[in-house]
Amino acid sequence: MKNPFDLKGQVAVITGSSKGIGRSIAETMAAMGAKVVVSSRKADACEEVAAGIRRDGGEATVIACNIGRKPEVEALVNGTLNKYGRIDALVCNAAVNPYFGPLAGIGDDAFDKIMATNIKSNLWLANLAIPGMAGRGGGTVTIVSSIGGIRGSSMLGAYGISKAADFSLARSLAVEWGPKNVRVNCIAPGLVKTDFARALWEDPKNLEQRTSGTPLRRIGEPHDIGGVAAFLASPAAAFITGQVIVADGGVTIA
């Protein structure tokens, strides 16, 4: 029987993959056989990840991209197609959160940046990559969202709105492209030990409160999410689409 988790032959593009969750996704998918495109704003940080993948016997290419700029998003997709001729798996991981505080205090510029970067850029990427997938008989898109899209927050409300919108974006894309065998899903991580969430887990009081209320009694590590993304891109998940896979140690059910 063929390994249902094998990604050999796939070309995977992972945004925001120079560190944290995105890096783990790129490294995991490469270890499972995919040719990965490592992408974030800074090419040198991406090259460090790609070099590590190559040292471990994998294949990785670097294409820098600020996902908030449409020409750079287009260059990411076109550059991948020029290099490999196809995209089989797209992982939309990059996101921003320039504001921490109540919704009553957020300015228009910060709100617009969150919505444009965390939602619109994912639509840009999907609309550029999915038609090619459909033409070749299928592919996958995975949006890394957050449990912030499930729960209310007094300090991360705008970010949560954008992440809830990603759930809806994935469902609609899944309905539109399902007949062409393109699967679209979301991952909703809980608190993960990354630079992006450093302000939350570096605070001992907040960390204690979070871990004590989490059934697994710990916060996540990037590798906890990398395997979920690789699974969703694999044949093992061939009948899963339009879903939100929560990976939070159980915090949302406790």
Structure tokens at 194: 């990354």
Pairwise CA distance, residues 169 & 119, whole Å: 8
Q: Describe the strand order of the beta sheet including 182-189 as a list of residue ranges.
A: 59-62, 35-39, 11-15, 89-92, 139-144, 182-189, 244-247
Could you give the residue numbers annotated as active site?
159
Query: Any bridge partners for residue 61, and if so which?
Result: 37
CA distance linking residue 183 with residue 1, whole number of Å: 23
Distance CA 181, CA 22 (A): 25
Neighbours of 198 (CB within 10 A): 10
CA distance 196 to 73: 21
